[in-house]
Amino acid sequence: MSECAILIKDLHKTYRTGFWLAKKKSLFGISLEVKKGEIFGFIGPNGAGKSTAIKVLAGLLRKDSGEVLLLGKEPSKAESRINLGYLPEQPYFYDSLSGYELLKFYGGLSGLKDSLLEERISWALKLVNADADWIYRRLRTYSKGMQQRVGLAQAILHKPELLILDEPMSGLDPLGRRDVREAILALNKEGSTIFYSSHVLSDVEAISHRVAMIIDGKISHTGTVEEITKETGRNSLEDVLAKEVSRAVP
């Protein structure tokens, strides 16, 4: 049990939206386990349910039913977030702050004090390749790549045991994606477990120990890239996904 960083068992989630609170079911009983020390990729097409599952993990959305544990704790409990770093899909930032001010603000919230905080900010900025002058500019002037780097730096300042990243590579150019891949590998080497979603399958193949594929709110495959490609007789995750998606279209 203690080996498990994330446990999701038979998770169902339905949204209720609009004036009539119409129901839209987005997760149909998904299950997965992420072991401590893993880099685990959560893949699937747009609208498959990745962000929904991640928001349930982060304690931002309530599940309908099922079991969810982060390092053995329920996401509804505040203590589940002490050892958690989270990068939302669309990070909301106070855009009149500079990247540096933002990091000071979030680092302070997680209880880091003065000299340690400065040390961690320098460490995090180096790791995401953002130790440059633009870090003192206002966030509203940032490119997507700069935003993602600051978002990632924010998520790791307190050196969390578990990192949950929603599309950390989205909107980045190839060099930006490489920086994020390398940051994930470096953090994992330092002991963090990383669960991240992505639809950039080549990146996922390059760095994940295991992956889970989600399509239309259901997990279609879980395992190492080798296991999944072997089991399906395909050459790559992209081929597996293409086959699954063409099957899902009526």
Ligand X SMILES: Nc1ncnc2c1ncn2[C@@H]1O[C@H](COP(=O)(O)OP(=O)(O)O)[C@@H](O)[C@H]1O
Task: Report the residue number, 37 or 47, with the smaller CB distance to ligand X.
Answer: 47
Contact 123, 177 (CB under 8 A): no
Q: Cα–chain-centroid distance for residue 249? A: 27
CA neighbor of 78 nearest in space, from 56, 52, 58: 58
Task: Report the residue number, 13 or 210, with the smaller CB distance to ligand X.
Answer: 13
CA neighbor of 98 nearest in space, from 165, 146, 159: 146
C-beta of 89: minimal distance to Mg ion in Å? 5
52 sits near ligand X (criterion: CB under 6 A)? yes
Residue from 1, 19, 46, 235 in contact with ligand X (CB under 6 A): 46
Residue from 49, 99, 151, 168 in contact with ligand X (CB under 6 A): 49
C-beta of 52: minimal distance to Mg ion in Å? 8
Phi and psi of 44, rounded to 5°? 160, 160
51 sits near Mg ion (criterion: CB under 5 A)? yes
* CA dist list (Å): 106 to 85, 86, 153, 190: 11, 12, 10, 21
C-beta of 241: minimal distance to ligand X in Å? 12
Contact 192, 39 (CB under 8 A): no
> Residue 132: how many CB atoms within 10 A of its CB?
12
| Tokens encoding 27 | 């997760």
Task: Report the residue number, 44 or 160, with the smaller CB distance to Mg ion.
Answer: 44
193 sits near Mg ion (criterion: CB under 5 A)? no
CA neighbor of 155 nearest in space, from 91, 97, 203: 91
62 sits near ligand X (criterion: CB under 6 A)? no
24 sits near ligand X (criterion: CB under 6 A)? yes
Q: Kindly indicate which of the ranges 33-41, 48-56, 122-130, 222-230 contains the residues binding ligand X, using the contact rule CB under 6 A.
A: 48-56
CA angle 200, 216, 209 (to 5 degrees): 40
C-beta of 167: minimal distance to Mg ion in Å? 6
| Tokens encoding 236 | 């790559």
Contact 67, 33 (CB under 8 A): no
198 sits near Mg ion (criterion: CB under 5 A)? no
C-beta of 87: minimal distance to ligand X in Å? 13
Task: Report the residue number, 14 or 232, with the smaller CB distance to ligand X.
Answer: 14
Question: What residue is closest to Mg ion based on CB?
Answer: 51
Chain contacts with ligand X (rule: CB under 6 A): 15, 17, 24, 26, 44, 46-52
Chain contacts with Mg ion (rule: CB under 5 A): 50-51, 89
